[in-house]
Amino acid sequence: HLQEDEITPDQYGDFISSLPTTGFLSQYRGFWFPTMFMQGVLSLQKHFQAHDTDILMMTPPKVGTTWLKAILFAILNRKHHLELQKHPLLTNNPHVLVPYLDLHLYNKKEVPDLTSCPSPRLFSAHLPYTLLPTSAKNSKCKIVYLYRNPKDTFVSLWHFLEKIGMTTDLFEETFDKFCQGVKKPQRILCLRYEELKEQPTTHLKRIADFLGCPFSSEEETKGTINDISRLCSFDYLSKLEVNKSGTTHNMKNESLFRRGEVGDWVNYLTPQMLEKLDNIFKEKFHGTELKF
């Protein structure tokens, strides 16, 4: 039996095979992860050294990660990209500009050397707060958390898994697994997809304040906030050639852009599914400030 603290990178494979699995998922410390990314999850926890200036995006899958990556990148780097016609978001998918620690950077044999990345380093991870590496918990790095109404998150997830060929389960089977895996997010800067959709500029200001680079009154007058909001919008990003025909890490970029709306779940969930999910959320989030 392998003790997790003592395993070396060449034993990750054996350790991962010892975890409980269902379909393409493995259960690790109470959470389900795609088995193909488990090495990244383990290696990241062991090796990632957070800097106080780091900004980490923590999101469950399908809550609008791509959108938030575009927003944070555009806000943090706005001084370098004053000419929007030449903005890196026009030719790069947001996942290229803001890499995943768990899914990409650490999901390989060699431990990546991230020390020379210019600060503030901006990374993302599909990890719950409890699995954040200790160095990140102990540092002063900033964490931005995004969540979304679980009904839309589920519908988005189901379409995505189908599109990238990761599941052959029926809608109902996937729904049951989703219900089993629901988890509680922690609050740091907590953003909600629905609120970002409703009032993007208000929340862009909130994000910039939180990141320590507030918009100046000159930028406000010049319309910088609106420009960033438009640049990162679903309509704009999803129509760019790079996102219609490009790929990132073997995945078609177009699979990241489906409808980008609030409330599409009404077209998919049955009243029974609705009741089941509502009950779970009432129970799990009772007493928290989170709204759905």
| Euclidean distance between the first and the last CA atom of the chain, given in angstroms as a whole number | 42
| Residue 140 identity (one-letter amino acid) | K
User: Please, which residue, 50 or 89, has the CB nearer to ligand A3P?
Assistant: 89
Q: Give the residue carrying structure tokens 């809550």.
A: 63
Closest approach of Cβ 140 to ligand A3P, in Å? Answer: 26
Is 61 among the residues that bind ligand A3P (CB under 6 A)? yes
Is 88 in contact with 23 (CB distance < 8 Å)?
no
User: Of the candidates 154, 187, 184, which has an alpha carbon nearest to the alpha carbon of residue 172?
Assistant: 154
User: Please, which residue, 195 or 264, has the CB nearer to ligand A3P?
Assistant: 264
Helices (runs of H) and strands (runs of E) counted in the chain: 14, 9
- Applying CB under 6 A, which of residues 35, 43, 45, 66 lies at the interface with ligand A3P? 66
User: Please, which residue, 15 or 64, has the CB nearer to ligand A3P?
Assistant: 64
Is 239 among the residues that bind ligand A3P (CB under 6 A)? no
Q: Look at strands 25-28 and 21-22 and give their pairing.
A: antiparallel
Q: Burial code of 114-134, b = ≥16 C-beta within 10 A, e = fewer? A: beeeeebbbbbbbbbbebbbe
- Applying CB under 6 A, which of residues 237, 269, 273, 277 lies at the interface with ligand A3P? 237
User: Please, which residue, 16 or 71, has the CB nearer to ligand A3P?
Assistant: 71
Q: Which stretch binds ligand A3P (CB under 6 A): 64-72, 78-86, 96-104, 176-184?
A: 64-72
Query: Per the residue annotation, which of 126, 203, 249, 286 is the catalytic one?
Result: 126
Is 259 among the residues that bind ligand A3P (CB under 6 A)? yes
Is 234 among the residues that bind ligand A3P (CB under 6 A)? yes
CA distance 222 to 48: 39
- 80 is annotated as an active-site residue: no
Is 242 in contact with 89 (CB distance < 8 Å)?
no
Is 264 among the residues that bind ligand A3P (CB under 6 A)? yes
Is 151 among the residues that bind ligand A3P (CB under 6 A)? no
Three-state SS at 142: strand
User: Please, which residue, 12 or 40, has the CB nearer to ligand A3P?
Assistant: 40
Closest approach of Cβ 59 to ligand A3P, in Å? Answer: 6
Is 65 among the residues that bind ligand A3P (CB under 6 A)? yes
CA distance 70 to 273: 32
CA distance 258 to 193: 15
Is 152 among the residues that bind ligand A3P (CB under 6 A)? yes
Q: Look at strands 142-147 and 189-192 and give their pairing.
A: parallel
- Applying CB under 6 A, which of residues 124, 156, 224, 248 lies at the interface with ligand A3P? 156
User: Of the candidates 22, 72, 42, 74, which has an alpha carbon nearest to the alpha carbon of residue 210?
Assistant: 72
Closest approach of Cβ 77 to ligand A3P, in Å? Answer: 17
- Applying CB under 6 A, which of residues 26, 45, 62, 277 lies at the interface with ligand A3P? 62
Closest approach of Cβ 132 to ligand A3P, in Å? Answer: 18
CA distance 146 to 191: 5
Give the residue numbers marked as catalytic. 126
